Each structure stands twice: as structure tokens, then as C-alpha cells.
């Protein structure tokens, strides 16, 4: 009876949320259809072989020195980011939180490439958003645009971007809703981006849409990241059609145990 009651409460919360914002309700409905349609396609774990020493390889691909001169900065920053969520009453490592391996990779690219324009899809509680913004702040230049359709689950909507401190928000533009609604017009307005990060809905259809939409806007020497690529074959199929592009596959940390990919535009 308890589980039935909890399910009813969740359903009621979801319906109320949809009624509050019909546009987001349509986004959630479309995402749900993409997930269901993508189920027969299977996962893509067997397509990926992680690079040896991926952090060193990433630095080589972007033309940065190794060992990384910004490693100690990240090592000092990561614990406060994690504990900032704990101080707000929610522990780190929940379902949608970014993992340390991807955060470290994006941190190094932000610090080495000194990007002016970074775009990410998927925010959740803003762990990776915080890392990117801290890097931009230390660079003294750059802006982050984040697109996210907050999970309909109770509690997650109110925690969107919780890890991002007030002092960093001057460099941050948050677009609430799906990438289907926001990504094309945003990229058309920006023209080019230095770093693009996919970490939203990991259906094959959505990953193909985001990568094919963003890639033409990534500048030469810029980087496109995709998280949870083991979810389906989309990243492998997309990058195989880019013969002049350097591609890296890396393991996530023990928290997630999957893979993320990076493509560096020649």
C-alpha cells in the first residue's frame, strides 16, 4: 500500500507540474516517446574501447601540455562542489549528477582553451556547470549557456543548478526546456562555440539530433563531449562519419561506470 500511495503522489505531482508549464509538458512527452522508441535499439557498450591514459590523450588532442598545470586547481575545487550539495541537504552522487572524470576533462579544456562560448545540454543540480563556470571565472573571460529540461521527479526541479554559486551566475545563461526547443536558435544566435557538451536525454534520437546540430558550430580546434555514450550506438555512428576528427573514449568514474566521448575538430 505504501508503494502504491507513493506512486499516486508522484503521478499527481507530475500532472500538476505539466499543468503549470504546458511547453515543458510537451517536452517531457516527446522525450518519453523517444525513450520508448529507442528501447529496441539496445545499448552500445561493446562499441567502445576506452583510450589508454585518456586525460593525457585529451591534452595531446587539444595541444595542451601534460601533466596538466591545472590539475591541482581541480583537485582543490572538486571537494567543495560536492560538499555544497550536502550542505543543501542532498548528498552527491544522485542519479543525474555529473561524475568526476567528465568534470575533470571539461575543466582542463576550459582552462587550456580559454573558450568564449561554451554550450551544454543537461544541468540537473549543476555539478558540471559549476566546474565550467569556475574555469571561465579563473580565465577572466567566457560565458556558459545551459539547456535543461528538469526531471519531472519531485525535488529535482527545485534543485536545478543548485551547485552553481550566486557569484558565478553572471557568466551563465540557463534555458529551461528541451534541446529540441532551444538548441538550434541558440546556436544560430551564437554562430560558433568552442566547447559543446551533451549530457541531456541519452536516447539515440536525441544524441543524434544534438551532435548533428552542434557539430557544424564547433570551431576548428574545439571540442564536443558526449556523456553516457554506452547508452546506445549514436556517438560511435556519428563520429565514424567524421574522418578528419580525433575521437577519444574514456571511462566515467566508479560512481557511473559508463563512458564519455570527446571529439576534437581538426
- What gap in Å lies between CA 208 and CA 241, rounded to an integer? 12
Total domains, the chain: 1
Residue 6 reports pLDDT greater than 50? no
pLDDT-based confidence at 87, cuts 50/70/90?
confident
Spatial separation of the C-alpha atoms in residues 263 and 15, rounded to whole Å: 39
Residue 160: per-residue pLDDT:
80
Is the Cα torsion angle 83, 86, 91, 95 positive or negative in sign? negative
Label residue 40 by pLDDT band (50, 70, 90).
Answer: very low
How confident is the model at residue 253, as a pLDDT? 80
CATH classification of the domain holding 252: 3.40.50.150
Which domain range does residue 184 map to?
Answer: 2-264
Neighbours of 143 (CB within 10 A): 16
pTM reported for the whole predicted model:
0.85
Q: What is the pLDDT of residues 121-180, one digit of tens each?
A: 999 889 999 999 999 999 999 999 999 988 766 555 667 888 999 999 999 999 998 899
Q: What is the pLDDT of residue 3?
A: 45
- Compute the mean pLDDT over every residue in the chain, rounded to the nearest whole number: 85
CB-based contact 157:13 (threshold 8 Å): no
Q: Is the pLDDT of residue 189 over 50?
A: yes
Q: Residues 223-242: pLDDT tens digits?
A: 999 999 998 899 999 999 99
Q: Cβ(112)–Cβ(81) under 8 Å?
A: no
pLDDT at 10: 46
Residue 248's φ and ψ, nearest 5 degrees, are -125, 140
The average pLDDT across 208-215 equals: 97
Which of 257 and 266 is assigned the larger pLDDT?
266
What is the sign, positive or negative, of the torsion defined by CA atoms of 241, 253, 227, 190? Answer: negative
Is pLDDT above 80 for 17?
A: no
Amino acid at each position: 500500500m505504501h508503494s502504491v500511495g507513493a506512486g499516486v503522489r508522484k503521478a499527481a505531482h507530475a500532472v500538476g507540474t505539466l499543468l503549470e508549464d504546458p511547453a515543458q509538458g510537451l517536452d517531457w512527452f516527446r522525450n518519453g516517446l523517444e525513450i520508448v522508441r529507442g528501447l529496441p535499439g539496445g545499448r552500445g557498450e561493446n562499441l567502445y574501447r576506452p583510450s589508454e591514459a585518456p586525460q593525457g590523450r585529451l591534452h595531446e588532442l587539444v595541444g595542451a601540455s601534460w601533466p596538466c598545470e591545472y590539475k591541482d586547481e581541480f583537485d582543490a575545487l572538486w571537494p567543495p562542489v560536492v560538499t555544497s550539495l550536502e550542505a543543501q541537504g542532498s548528498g552527491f552522487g544522485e542519479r543525474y549528477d555529473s561524475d568526476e572524470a567528465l568534470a575533470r576533462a571539461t575543466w582542463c579544456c576550459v582552462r587550456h582553451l580559454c573558450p568564449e562560448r561554451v554550450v551544454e545540454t543537461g544541468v540537473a543540480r549543476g555539478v558540471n556547470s559549476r566546474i565550467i563556470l569556475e574555469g571561465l571565472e579563473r580565465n577572466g573571460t567566457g560565458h556558459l549557456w545551459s539547456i535543461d529540461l528538469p526531471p519531472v521527479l519531485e525535488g529535482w526541479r527545485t534543485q536545478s543548478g543548485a551547485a552553481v554559486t550566486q557569484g558565478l551566475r553572471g557568466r551563465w545563461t540557463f534555458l529551461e526546456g528541451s534541446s529540441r526547443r532551444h538548441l538550434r536558435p541558440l546556436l544560430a544566435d551564437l554562430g560558433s562555440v568552442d566547447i559543446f557538451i551533451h549530457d541531456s536525454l541519452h536516447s539515440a534520437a536525441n544524441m543524434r539530433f544534438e551532435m548533428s546540430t552542434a557539430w557544424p558550430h564547433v570551431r576548428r580546434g574545439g571540442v564536443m563531449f558526449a556523456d553516457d555514450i554506452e547508452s546506445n550506438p549514436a556517438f560511435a555512428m556519428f563520429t565514424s562519419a567524421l574522418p578528419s576528427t580525433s575521437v577519444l573514449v574514456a571511462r566515467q568514474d566508479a560512481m557511473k561506470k559508463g563512458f564519455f566521448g570527446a571529439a576534437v575538430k581538426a
